[in-house]
Structure formats: C-alpha cells, structure tokens
Amino acid sequence: MTEGLHPRADELDDLSTLEFLEVMHAEDGGAVAAIRPHLPDIARAAEATVARLRKGGRLHYFGAGSSGHIARLDAFECPATFGVANDLVPR
C-alpha cells in the first residue's frame, strides 16, 4: 500500500506549527533514506534509458486521471527544459 493514515494524523490539528513541521521533516527524511539502498538500481535504469534514447528510442509518459494530466504537461515541457527534439517525447 502506498497511501495510508499516518500514526500521528489525528493530532496534526493540535500540533504547533513547529511540531507539525518537525513531523513533516522527519517523514521526508524517511523517504530519502528509503531510496538509498536502491541507488545502484536507479543508476542502472538511468544508464539503460540513456543508451536506448541514444539509439533512437523515445520517452513515453503514462498515467491515469490527474497523474495522466501531469504526465502530459511534463512531456510538453521536455523540449524547452532539456533541449531535446520535439519527437523524443510523443505528446
């Protein structure tokens, strides 16, 4: 499961601003720490992606609902942001 109720969710409204920020900061740190063991896999995936793109591959975005809309918007930004050809990312 990727989403669920945080153990401290019931008390968030009662926390001071500083306490709330401390909870949020601790959770952000947990997410960053969870990625650390997977960095070698992420590096291999990035390198494989670059190799395929250099051989004429294209980058496809997928999503449904809101994530699909965000994917489409992001795809439109790739040429301007990264200087890639318009046909690299089908829109």
The pLDDT, as a whole number, for residue 3 is 76
The pLDDT, as a whole number, for residue 10 is 84
Tens digit of pLDDT per residue, the chain (91 long)? Answer: 567 787 878 888 899 999 999 988 988 888 899 999 999 999 999 999 999 999 999 999 888 999 999 999 999 999 999 999 988 988 7
**Cβ(53)–Cβ(59) under 8 Å?**
yes
Got the DSSP string for 4-69?
---TTGGGGGGS-HHHHHHHHHHHHHHHHHHHGGGHHHHHHHHHHHHHHHHTT-------STHHHH
Classify the phi-psi angles of 15: left when phi > 0, otherwise alpha if psi is within -120 to 50, otherwise beta: beta
